[in-house]
Amino acid sequence: MNRKELYKFLEFLSQQHIVYAPQKDGANLVIEEVIDSHNVVLSSEIPLHSFKKYLVPAKETLFKFDKDKIDEGINSPNQVIFGLTTPDLKAVTLLNQVFKKDPYYQERKKKSLIVGHSLVPKQKYHFFIEKFEEHTLEHLEFDIFLAVKGQNFIVYTGSEDGQRILDDFGYKTYEHIQFAGYIKEEGPDEQMLKINEAMKQGSYMDKLWQDLGKICIECGKCTMVCPVCFCFDVVDQASAEPGTGERKRCWASCFYTDFSEIAGPKTFGEKPKFLQNTAQRIHFWYEHKFVRLPDEIKLAGCVGCGRCTKVCPVGIDIKKNIQKILKVKRIK
Amino acid sequence: MNEYEYNMINLYVPKLAKIINIKQESPDSKLFTLQYQDKSEFEFTHGQFVQIGLFGWGEAPFSLCGPTTEEKTFQIVVREVGDLTKRIQKLTKGQTITVRGPFGNGFPMDKFVNKNVILIGGGCGFVAMRSFVLDHNLGKFNPKNKLQIFYGCLNEESVLFSDELKAWKKKIDYRIALMKPSPKWRGIKGVVTKIFEKVKVVNNAVAVIVGPPIMYKFVIEELTKKGFADTDIYLSLERRMYCGLGVCQHCAIGSYYVCKDGPVFSYSQLKETRGAI
Ligand SMILES: Cc1cc2nc3c(=O)[nH]c(=O)nc-3n(C[C@H](O)[C@H](O)[C@H](O)COP(=O)(O)OP(=O)(O)OC[C@H]3O[C@@H](n4cnc5c(N)ncnc54)[C@H](O)[C@@H]3O)c2cc1C
Ligand code: SF4
Ligand code: SF4
């Protein structure tokens, strides 16, 4: 497929879908709705704000209630999330697992066409990212993948939906990749297992976390931009009419003090909570990524996109921290 | 993308239940007897909990505390501590609330088979033990196994299930300590660990502790002194939770989720996890 055909394909897609794709917003690359397909940027730069909000919205309605009646109304529009790099496809693959039994996510996923590309980010923030090779595609979930070759693209499909849409568009020379499971044949990622092991032997009392606890200002920006972070609250939003309203699911951040608060008598004006200080909170964040997710689904909760490092106002660098986690030698 | 089966049950949508009965248990706690509006059956095991909610006020976890022998009705005790619990307490017989669950692993019943059991409860945590006590008294378990209860409470007024105690005491070794009793109190005075000074703990036993977080450390110390192995001490933990499905992360501890892997954990499971207890 050449560039001209690609723009045509984007226009074809936008006839029946809302298309989101990387575009420039000032100095930043963002993934937003496409109005003019010529604004779409396919580059090795990772958009600062990820695709996340299109699959896991910052706020979504679980159901409406009216006295004792519940209206589930699970429905989402047809959408295309275009131009994801391989680390972001990894994040999609992970979210697919986490929300495997979640009807809201699955509905959105069913209505979404995911289009990835092969340009590999080079900037200093990234890590964990492998060079693109055809066999890496076997372990990623996507619908269409564009492998960049000079000015052209080699087109792969990863699902029947992807095949169908290309057929409808009239593009025939794609190659289908059979999904071989999200874990590679040789087993879970070794680096991930090492970090997992090292994290389990330590605790938030270790120097690394105590040091980070002193500088992190708990702004939560890292959790917002991270394509993997998916913690949430469930809250009711009452409407004007008594007894009516909506139950909503909203993004939460483990950096916020209310995250672990429970009801009970206050001490020094504060409710009882289990994550007491910044060191505990940032440790909890890493624990989710490198202990719980690997234990549960054999995937690290970090795809190495470097977004968190880029937005952190105090310069906390996840790549360096991982190196520190791995370096600690423990005497058993 | 549509590789997955997606005709799935929506676990976020609650079922409606009717309040069949309400009983004031203590100045701040009420016992609610509930039944699904569609009259469907309710099955659970000791130590599990449900997410109880009111539209407009959200949901929160509450321990199931009725006997497991009832097919359709189930019970919870709600202590008034905040917004939702205040609203629930205002409800009257016949009104509806929402229910999701039951959730959690419950008590380690297979560990109890040839063992005596000691339940140690503090404050509101005592609620979680009642369903086991009721089943025990109904003769559901091996009659050879003894049941002992140590219960720590504030004062006479705040003792839960006080009008059932007479019957309970015939079948179990029930001991209580009051922190701030009236001058008339003849029993043990102080925190729950005081009971250990006065009463012999049953031998060959498994212990389950449910109570406010500060209690755990001291009770574990006492039990360890009495020779309990870490694998014979169980704790039921309280955490903030929303989904009940091990996704939202609020109740996570180390590699565990309180809603899914707990709320009941063995001490050996949690010992190495800083911040768990
Ligand atoms: C496994 C388990 C079993 C429990 N069993 C009982 C019981 O049998 N009886 C009883 O009275 N209480 C029990 N609790 C505590 C009960 O859930 C809280 O008292 C209740 O959430 C308070 O809600 P509130 O809105 O009145 O408090 P507020 O302080 O006004 O609000 C607390 C907010 O945090 C949210 N939240 C979520 N989880 C919790 C939590 N665990 N504690 C506090 N807030 C939470 C609530 O939804 C609410 O939005 C249990 C808790 C757990 C985790
Ligand atoms: S933790 Fe940071 S580097 Fe890792 S996936 Fe999230 S934003 Fe990217
Ligand atoms: S972005 Fe940096 S300062 Fe803000 S919460 Fe994350 S680690 Fe802390």
ipTM of predicted assembly, 2 dp? 0.89
Give the pLDDT confidence score for residue A269 in this predicted structure: 80
Give the start-to-end residue ranges of the domains of chain B.
3-102, 109-270
Fold identical between B3-102 and B109-270?
Answer: no
pLDDT digits (tens, 9 = 90+) for A208-257: 899 999 999 999 999 999 999 999 999 999 998 888 999 999 999 998 98
Give the pLDDT confidence score for residue A177 in this predicted structure: 92
B251 close to B265: Cβ distance less than 8 angstroms? no
Contact state of A70 with B13 under an 8 Å Cβ cutoff: yes
Q: Which residue has the higher pLDDT, B18 or A67?
A: B18
Question: Best residue in B55, B85, B248 to probe A by mutation, most A CBs within 10 Å?
Answer: B55
Distance from CA of B262 to the nearest CA of A (A): 15
pLDDT digits (tens, 9 = 90+) for A256-314: 988 888 887 777 788 888 888 999 999 999 999 999 999 999 999 999 999 999 999 99
Q: CA–CA separation, B166 vs B162, rounded Å?
A: 8
Residue B129 in this model has a pLDDT that exceeds 60:
yes
Contact state of A292 with B255 under an 8 Å Cβ cutoff: yes
Which parts of B115-245 fold into alpha helices (H)?
A: 130-137, 165-171, 194-198, 213-225
User: What is the DSSP track for B104-126?
Assistant: S--S-GGGGTTSEEEEEEEGGGG
Confidence of residue A203 (pLDDT cuts 50, 70, 90): confident
Give the pLDDT confidence score for residue B2 in this predicted structure: 47
What residues have CB less than 8 Å from A53, skipping those under 6 apart? none
Residue A98: which of B276, B257, B240, B265 has the closest Cα?
A: B257
Q: What is the CATH number of domain B109-270?
A: 3.40.50.80
Distance from CA of A46 to the nearest CA of B (A): 23
Confidence of residue A125 (pLDDT cuts 50, 70, 90): low
Mean pLDDT for the stretch of residues B6-12: 78
Give the pLDDT confidence score for residue A124 in this predicted structure: 62
CATH 3.50.50.60 fits B3-102, yes or no: no
Query: For chains A and B, what is the number of CB pairs under 8 angstroms?
Result: 131
A93 close to A120: Cβ distance less than 8 angstroms? no
Distance from CA of B277 to the nearest CA of A (A): 9
Q: How far does the centroid of ligand 3 lie from the alpha carbon of residue A47, in Å?
A: 19
What residues have CB less than 8 Å from A288, skipping those under 6 apart? A231, A254, A301, B249, B252
A261 close to B240: Cβ distance less than 8 angstroms? yes
Residue A108: which of A68, A77, A141, A139 has the closest Cα?
A: A77
Q: Which residue has the higher pLDDT, A49 or B18?
A: B18
Pocket test for ligand 3, best of A211, A216, A283 (most atoms within 8 A of CB): A216
pLDDT digits (tens, 9 = 90+) for B144-155: 899 999 999 999
Query: What's the mean pLDDT when you consider all of chain B?
Result: 92
Give the pLDDT confidence score for residue B3 in this predicted structure: 45
**Percentage above 70 pLDDT, chain A:** 96
Q: Tokens for B197, please give them.
A: 């000074």
Confidence of residue A121 (pLDDT cuts 50, 70, 90): confident
Residue A318: which of A201, A190, A221 has the closest Cα?
A: A221
Confidence of residue A183 (pLDDT cuts 50, 70, 90): confident
Give the pLDDT confidence score for residue B32 in this predicted structure: 97
Q: How far does the centroid of ligand 1 lie from the alpha carbon of residue A140, in Å?
A: 40
